[in-house]
Structure 1
Amino acid sequence: MKTDLLIKNAWVYQTPTRNFAKKNVAVTQGKFYYISSVDMEHLNANETIEAEGQYMIPGFIDIHLHIESSMTTPAIFSETALGYGVTTVVADAHEMGNVFGLEGLKHFMAAETKMDIFHAIPSSVPSTTVDLETTGGVIALEEVRELLKDPRVICLGEAMNFKGIAYDKDSLIRQIIDLCQKERPTMPLEGHIPKIYDQELADFLMSGISSDHTHQFPEYLLEKIQAGLFIQFQDKSITPENMAVIRDNQLFDFACFITDDIMVDDFLEGHLNKNVEKAIACGLPVEEAIYMTTYTPARRMSLLDRGMIAPGKVADFMFVSDLESLTIEQVYKSGEKVFTKGQPFHYPEKIETFPESYYQTVDCQKLTFDDLTLNVETKKERVRCNVIQKQVVGTFTERITKELTVKEGALDWQAAGLAQLIVMERYGINGNIARALMDDPLTGIGAIGTTWAHDHHNVMLMGNDPESILVAQHALLEMQGGYVVVNQGKIVATCPLPIGGILSQAPIEELGQALKGVRQAMKDLGYENGNEIMSFSTLSLPVSPAIKVTDKGMMDTKSQTFYPLVFPEDGVLKHETTN
């Protein structure tokens, strides 16, 4: 018999026993054929590889990520991520859906890539409801019904609306879940369940959702798994304490590693491989870390043709020279070599084509100094205000109370050491402008602006200097989206994202360096967080605890009610939300 590829003397990962054994491996027609310690010269291979001293492990599988978080398109993403050993992903393109609706999803899914990209139905477009935030697109029952017909769609993407899922059987998200269960009874339903426990967790899980990828804490991790949740660990949840819960309780079949959101500057350094390295450094045995990044996620998504090196499985694999550091030497996709260590980032020969209208999507008014004056109707000299306080670790926020001086009929927010946070509807739908205040988020004088504002992607501005806020907003309108940082009235960093205000087709190195510049400029302004970009971009995410801002106002994300900026008994802010 003739075979395409023969690999000799590799230390092959044995999935059932989670160890390595010296084997020879034959590959034919893009699949593993014969794995054994016996000599295979009789197979007459077209190509033979001597892999003495190399560890051969299956390709990594990332079952929850948003390609748009890397601010690039599927074709460019595929070429880059393959170099990190990632051969299969399940993409939830809800960012694209929030900007362009079903049409945008179809453009995204049409990309031709070497990597296998399966898709999740974006369940959260918008993440809450149209009454709570304005988006460019909506994915409702008709759109879900159409997506369910596509075989590349293999799960329902993260369902986030806690109140609608747990307590409102007539909500759109519950109708979407019901439709998926009717049309695809065994399809996984993915969840976004931050800080929900005990009976509230049970109320949520009664919907049929069975996974969670949000921030995990060791004191609740076992409870969640015993409640039937499959846990997907993103970077911030990969801690020694969480890994100890998994290791000590032998829970390797009930969790996996995912990336969720990898910013493009971090993408220059790695992808899912970095999370595996971190898990190993946090005390998880390397063999179990591999298992939880290959076989476990494949089973979760019923991708039964991959995830292990065995006859009949897709021949996705990599050669690793050092397990502890996970040094990847080569990557193969369906038996074809797609990466060799040391090669530069490769720009794909064929990239996606988007309509011209996708490059003109930021449609809102140009702000003036008058728009930044927070006029208040009151007889008091000082009024109490609801203020947002961000954390320096993670994306959670808290509501605090501050007492502000009223000066010439307006809040003297600058004297109080606060910054304005503004969200402007940018799809040309209603012209909403919501205003909030933040507690001392910057030590320098300036402003930050973006259209990459989770998940509605309206224009978001934050600054402690009116001039800098205006410069930032005007720059975003001119760029038609992206990130901008202004220091003392001067633009110091930009990252243009011209496709819908969320994507670019610039080479990955160029795009990554631009975002690195934005990140450093944010640090220079004194914006403090372990992930400055994600922290800022989620100040607008109305399903993340505990207080965020949409174009409709400042929201308690659990109760889904809005806070007034000024306490009602003290006064009324003119134009709390203007439209």
Structure 2
Amino acid sequence: MINNFCKVPLWECHSTLIKVAQGQQPADTVIRHANLVSVTTHEVLPDADIAISCGRVAYLGLGGHTAEHCIGPDTQVIDAAGKYVAPGYIDSHIHVESAMIGCGEYAKVVVPRGTTAIFADPHECCNVVGLKGVRVMFDDAKRAPLKAMLTTPSCVPAVTGFDDAGAYVDAPQVAATMDWPDVVGLGEMMNFPGILGGEKNAQDEVAETLKAGKCVTGHYSISETDRGLNAYIASGVRACHESITPDDVMAKLRMGMYVQARYGSAWLTLPGYLPQVLASGVDTRLIVLCTDDNHPNTLVSEGGMDRALRACVAAGADAVSALQFATINAAQMLGVDADMGSVTPGKCADLVILPDLESFIPEAVMIDGDLVAREGRPLFGLDLYRWPDFMTHTMNVGRNFTAADFEIAVELPDGRARVRAIGGVGGSTITQDIVVEVPVVDGKLRADPERDVLKMAVFDRHHGAEGTHSYGFCTGFGVHGALAQTVSHDSHNLLVVGDNDEDMALVAQTLVECGGGEVAVADGKVLALVELPVCGLMSDKDVDTVAAEVAKIEQAWSDMGCTMPSPFMTMGILSLPCVPVLRLTNRGYVNCETFQFEDLLA
């Protein structure tokens, strides 16, 4: 694969690197006296020198050898003074839109914390406005030094026939993107039922990616480790970030699949399986780290990949192994290891200078040999991106909401009725399929907040008056009032949850009027609002402002009675019809194990 993300291609500068390595030409930069984290050999190499030219490593001074011969009068010399130098972190699977900002703003917050490259799957944006919106997102990305590598969205919508998105992507469109210079693979193939069931478009998307010699990333979210998993991997899918149990992970590793260990704002299952996997003693070369989804306030206050690295160490990994998960393993997974993933001769000088191997928060960050961040701050400035109109006018619900829109009429006598409900589970993408009893009053189903049973509604926001909607119930959130969001994976329709119809109408109408986002209401009062006018997913403000707004609405969730971590993300996947067990889309309840629609009344 020709790497389009480096300052200079290796074939163009290798003769210069040859000269620099032998002292025949001075380096641009030399780092002296570093403890070099060698991810190729799982060592920390003391008192190492690193000579950089053309944005690449030209020479390593190891075992008593130095880079003094590479230093000329104009060479910048950096004394690492015994600090650690490691490869820059590579996030192997990320949806930038989950941070509610564009790629430029995203780079400003993650680069100073050590992330130098991302494999980004913008299927959130794509489900709303299609591939032309993806192109706009990555035009924004080009303004920043972060190496934003694009994996083409594969599932728009996520699973065919179960909900309605704002766009559709098929195999010919995927094939056309394989010629885009920033495309390195196919985004997560969520439609594993289509792959296993012989759905032509799903299989053709994989085939077009393989034909282009690029990586197919996956999403196998069920704990099945026999015929289905074998077939899914045999189709050409190389990686998966949806493992939940140690058995899931071990089966995938044994079948040669990269396991993307995920640790984001809400998906916190990594500590539940990584200790057992490490204790088994298996080779970890196929374990790769990713964040998947991070809120802006998580990124600002706790970090991204650095936070995930700390979680790996807390789960039992040694620091060098954790860094391998976040660097060379990721680069090898997507086939870019010829240019990145290690601090070795010929590779891009994407590196971090760390005061220790505990916090993983760098003092300085280099990308292609350029110093791009220091002491937690970016050294590059970007104006706020100007988004085109087609991406900022995407609320097409076709109605103004009233309380009557949230009444669930049934032909039952007053009393109580047994209904199917989604059991939300904090920190996990998996939900429960449960049966609960709710009141029936005047022929209408009501919420039962005393038993933590809330009403749900999902309205198609892409097709106006022609769009459909559905109703259901959920548990686990424990709030009084109502919440709504247009971040509802993956079709991103208007999702409303609440314990009374009046507040549900207010949250829905609030988002219609502001162009999308998330809002919390109690007793007729708006407690917090995050406006996301770009596709109903992203803000047009700077990252610090958005982080503060999200922190305020998370506090509102807490004040309303919710104790979940990042409940906004947990609520947002109640509509995702490809992860077990039960989901509610604009078309109704979907059983994500049998892939059939289910009735509301049990």
Amino acid at match of 1:385: V
1:476-555 map, 5 Å: 476-555=511-590
Q: Does 1:421 align with 2:470?
A: no
**Is contact 1:80–1:346 with CA below 8 Å preserved after alignment?**
no
Aligned to 2:237, what secondary structure does the other structure show? coil
Aligned to 1:292, what secondary structure does the other structure show? helix
Aligned to 1:3, what secondary structure does the other structure show? coil
CA distance in 2, matches of 1:78, 1:262: 13
1:430-509 map, 5 Å: 430-439=466-475, 441-443=477-479, 445-509=480-544
Per-residue displacement from partner, 1:351-395 (whole Å, max 9, x unpaired)?
433212322111211221222221112468554321222123413
**Is contact 1:72–1:503 with CA below 8 Å preserved after alignment?**
yes
Counterpart for residue 198 of structure 1: 226
CA distance in 1, matches of 2:496, 2:379: 34
Amino acid at match of 1:452: V
Q: Does 1:128 align with 2:154?
A: no
Shift of 1:245: 1.3
Shift of 1:39: 3.5
Unpaired segments ≥5 residues, structure 2: 1-24
Amino acid at match of 2:53: T
Counterpart for residue 114 of structure 1: 145
Question: 152, 169, 190: which one pairs with 2:182?
Answer: 152
Q: Which stretch of structure 1 is more off in the superposition, 493-502 or 169-178?
A: 169-178
Shift of 1:70: 0.7
Counterpart for residue 3 of structure 2: none
CA distance in 1, matches of 2:340, 2:165: 37
Q: Does 1:138 align with 2:168?
A: yes
Amino acid at match of 1:34: Y
Q: CA 1:247–1:89 in 2, change beyond 3 Å: closer, same or farther?
A: farther
Counterpart for residue 292 of structure 1: 325
Aligned to 1:517, what secondary structure does the other structure show? helix
Q: CA 1:6–1:452 in 2, change beyond 3 Å: closer, same or farther?
A: same
CA distance in 2, matches of 1:296, 1:122: 22
Amino acid at match of 1:436: G
CA distance in 2, matches of 1:440, 1:302: 41
Amino acid at match of 1:223: A
Shift of 1:405: 4.3
Shift of 1:240: 6.6
Unpaired segments ≥5 residues, structure 1: 568-579
CA distance in 2, matches of 1:483, 1:275: 26
Per-residue displacement from partner, 1:519-559 (whole Å, max 9, x unpaired)?
11112212232331211111111111111111111111122
1:81-96 map, 5 Å: 81-96=110-125
Counterpart for residue 575 of structure 1: none
Amino acid at match of 1:283: G
Amino acid at match of 1:358: M
Counterpart for residue 281 of structure 1: 314
Amino acid at match of 1:41: E
Q: CA 1:525–1:171 in 2, change beyond 3 Å: closer, same or farther?
A: farther
Amino acid at match of 1:441: F
State the identity as a percent: 25
Q: CA 1:416–1:320 in 2, change beyond 3 Å: closer, same or farther?
A: closer
TM-score, length basis structure 1 = 0.93
Q: Does 1:256 align with 2:285?
A: no
Question: 289, 297, 319: which one pairs with 1:265?
Answer: 297
Q: Does 1:162 align with 2:202?
A: no
Amino acid at match of 2:418: R
Shift of 1:294: 0.9
Counterpart for residue 391 of structure 2: 358
Per-residue displacement from partner, 1:310-368 (whole Å, max 9, x unpaired)?
1111001111111122241111111111111153x678334433212322111211221
CA distance in 2, matches of 1:347, 1:468: 44
Shift of 1:16: 2.6
Counterpart for residue 18 of structure 2: none
Per-residue displacement from partner, 1:157-200 (whole Å, max 9, x unpaired)?
11112221112x2342122112323x22x422111111232222
Question: 403, 410, 413: which one pairs with 1:376?
Answer: 410
**Is contact 2:244–2:273 with CA below 8 Å preserved after alignment?**
no
Aligned to 1:145, what secondary structure does the other structure show? helix
CA distance in 2, matches of 1:143, 1:534: 29
Counterpart for residue 434 of structure 2: 400
Question: 25, 34, 47: which one pairs with 2:50?
Answer: 25
Amino acid at match of 2:463: G
Q: Does 1:566 align with 2:566?
A: no
Q: CA 1:229–1:342 in 2, change beyond 3 Å: closer, same or farther?
A: closer
Q: CA 1:346–1:73 in 2, change beyond 3 Å: closer, same or farther?
A: farther
Amino acid at match of 1:258: C
1:216-255 map, 5 Å: 216-235=244-263, 236-239=268-271, 241-246=273-278, 248-255=280-287
Amino acid at match of 2:116: T
Amino acid at match of 1:306: M
Q: Which stretch of structure 1 is more off in the superposition, 314-323 or 414-423?
A: 414-423
Question: 75, 81, 94: which one pairs with 1:52?
Answer: 81
Counterpart for residue 16 of structure 2: none
Counterpart for residue 573 of structure 1: none
Amino acid at match of 1:348: G
Q: Does 1:34 align with 2:56?
A: no
CA distance in 2, matches of 1:503, 1:143: 24
**Is contact 2:294–2:304 with CA below 8 Å preserved after alignment?**
yes
Shift of 1:142: 2.5
Amino acid at match of 1:311: P
Amino acid at match of 2:271: T
Question: 366, 369, 374: which one pairs with 1:335?
Answer: 369
Q: CA 1:57–1:413 in 2, change beyond 3 Å: closer, same or farther?
A: closer
Counterpart for residue 6 of structure 2: none
Counterpart for residue 15 of structure 2: none
Counterpart for residue 574 of structure 1: none
**Is contact 1:244–1:283 with CA below 8 Å preserved after alignment?**
no
Question: 175, 197, 209: which one pairs with 2:204?
Answer: 175
Shift of 1:38: 2.5
1:286-325 map, 5 Å: 286-303=319-336, 304-325=338-359
CA distance in 2, matches of 1:405, 1:67: 41
